[in-house]
Amino acid sequence: MANHSICSVIATALLISVLALPTRVQAIGVCYGRLGDNLPQPSEVVDLYKSNNIGSMRIYDPNPDVLEALRGSNIQLLVGVPNDQLQSLASDSSAANAWVQSNVVAYWPSVSFRYIAVGNEVIPGDDAPYVLPAMQNVQNALASANLQGQIKVSTSVSTRVLGVSYPPSEGSFSSDTQADMNPIVQFLVNNGAPLLLNVYPYFSYKYNQAQISLSYALFTSPDVVVNDGPYGYQNLFDAIVDAAYASLEKVGGSSVEIVVSESGWPSAGDVETTIDNAGTYNQNLINHVGQGTPRRPGSAIEAYIFAMFNENQKDSELERNFGLFYPNKQPVYRINFS
């Protein structure tokens, strides 16, 4: 009887611990950019996500029509604070409270907010000093609404924050970003939030074709290309992510996870931008992220493909052709999210 009671206590404790674990969402989402004058209505876009088994979405501003369309969809959402609002939210806690009330609380819980990205690729730059205080004010506003446990606050950065990225184990934040990144990393540690990182092997390949092979960039290399101590790299994506992990570790951020907030390959507009290459990269990304990286094996990477649609109001032909779908909702190439 005593043994039975002990077993019951252990089983109950295990059940409680499992229930207390954060929900692990599908590893792959897609960025829903809206810089086009011929895109489908938000309700149609949400239906397209659901019909393709895309479980997560990134949007770059809290558009009310998109948020309304997401109600009840169970699509996990990464929503952005636009860069032009950072200064206001950094300097005025009441502005941050108003932002959270209008754009998050008003839709919670029927919209499944997961992350708030306070700025996109702001660091390094003139507005970089506003990022952390804006994050802090948004975090405090979430806490006032008792949502700090459900929604994590971060910022989305490009690989420009890295001063060293090769070999990956030598990764470190650049001297001109450390003043901003180091305290941001401590904020992420203290709040159990991830760093949002935009990862584009395509651009590394484009500008370094003499050093980087296409197969290494497309996940198609049959062998290890880069040996880095105990770690072997068959693809550039892992090398970039692990350089960022090494950078985090050097400034006390070993506990911070990386969420890849953008990654993709264009299907037209420049060197090696074919439909075949774009489809190969994105399908291989989907198939790969569950494995983790050499530095973090077995730890699935949450990643967002850029982007859902070809957007005709982007600046360049290259930027207009990152979409998985044409504006008429037909696929640019076949891709399987299941």
Rounded-to-10 torsion of CA 24, 71, 60, 54: 50
Nearest of 219, 334, 200 to residue 279 by alpha carbon = 334
Looking at 68, 249, 257, 262, which residue is catalytic?
262
Q: Return the sign of the alpha-carbon dihedral for residues 324, 319, 283, 163.
A: negative
Let me know the angle formed at the C-alpha of 179 by 239 and 246, rounded to the nearest 5 degrees: 20
- Residue 47's Cβ-side half-sphere holds a number of Cα atoms within 13 Å equal to 6
Is 257 considered catalytic here? Answer: no
Looking at 68, 121, 257, 272, which residue is catalytic?
121
The amino acid at 37: D
Is 311 considered catalytic here? Answer: no
Active site residues: 121, 262
